[in-house]
Chains A and B, each alone.
Chain A
Amino acid sequence: MTFELLLVPAAGLFCTGLFGALSQQSIVMVMMGIELMIGGIIVAAADFWHFLAPAAASGQVVIVAAVVAMAVEMAMGFAVTTALYRARQVDMTDMAEDLKG
């Protein structure tokens, strides 16, 4: 039962992050939402590894990939925000919607 119960906070983290990524206007806050979503994925991956397939190393590899995704997301996010801010003093998603279809 621990396995299922532990997946609930993982889903909670993911959905809290999703809410933030969808609703926040500031780009930096959107990035925080994405970090939370990846945090949820990490908890779920550790849970799956521990309770379902501890002999397979792939569960751990998923966590490594998620951590790398976090680092990449943050570095590129800040780089884009800096470039955007430099070009037009903007740090909100609503003010950078030129490509909105």
Chain B
Amino acid sequence: MGATATVLLWASALLAPAFGVLVFTMNSMARVTFALLACLVCVGGIVTVLGLSYLGVVIVLMMVMEMVIMAVFMIAYMMNPAGLMPMSMLHNRRGALVISGSLFAALVAGIFLVPWPERGGARPRNTTFQIGAALMREQMLTMITLGFVLLATMVGATVLATRRGRYDRFGDELDQRPARDPAGGGVGR
């Protein structure tokens, strides 16, 4: 690791938890969402600097889109989107602090007490090729499972989120054309 990479690594490693804390301390929902985005961009930066450039850049790409969509939902569902009136919406604050604090202490103790093994094997020249080959060869089952999970999510999320079924669109006899939709589309109308 060169000097630039080391500086980048530690800057991201310090900024990521800082932004993570901001997520639960700021009032404005827009700022909260973008604090989370900044935190996850730092995570992507750490992953990139550690040699997994493909996964790191993909994390940044995906998180930007995800957080922007999240901002839309945040503002749709939260009563205080702009944070003009500071408010707290917590329950069981002390219990949560005790649980997460003691877990953190246990994890840090574990990190420094466990005798970690030495580095095994050499780093591949092309890490992107390594992940691609793994997903298409020995980890093919993982890839297939992830694919089905994503498909099930798409179908399930759509079914849960939509109120209207085909009888609402096409009428009781399913013969109404064009469909009765709240918003028109661009194809075939």
Asked whether any CB of A lies within 8 Å of a CB of B in the complex, the reply is yes
Interface residues of A (CB under 8 A from B): 2-9, 11-20, 22-29, 31-33, 35-36, 39, 42-43, 46-47, 49-58, 60-61, 63-65, 67-68, 70-72, 74-76, 78-83, 85-86, 91-94
Q: Could you write out 23 A-B pairs with CB less than 8 Å apart?
A: A2-B9, A6-B13, A8-B108, A9-B13, A18-B99, A24-B24, A29-B24, A29-B32, A31-B70, A32-B32, A32-B36, A35-B40, A39-B43, A43-B46, A52-B120, A54-B122, A55-B120, A57-B131, A60-B52, A61-B135, A67-B58, A70-B66, A78-B157
A53 to B70: give the CA distance in the assembly, Å.
35
In the complex, are the beta carbons of B73 and A9 less than 8 A apart? no
Residues of chain B at the chain A interface (Cβ within 8 Å) = 9, 13-14, 16-17, 20-21, 23-24, 32-33, 36, 39-40, 43, 46-47, 50-52, 55, 58-59, 62, 66, 69-70, 73-74, 77-78, 89-93, 95-97, 99-101, 103-104, 107-108, 111-112, 116-117, 119-124, 127, 130-131, 133-135, 138-139, 142, 146, 149-150, 153-154, 156-161, 163
Inter-chain contacts of B69 with A (CB < 8 A): 74
Q: Known pairs A2-B9, A54-B123. 13 more at Cβ < 8 A?
A: A6-B9, A9-B13, A15-B101, A32-B36, A49-B50, A51-B119, A52-B119, A54-B121, A55-B124, A56-B120, A64-B131, A67-B58, A74-B70
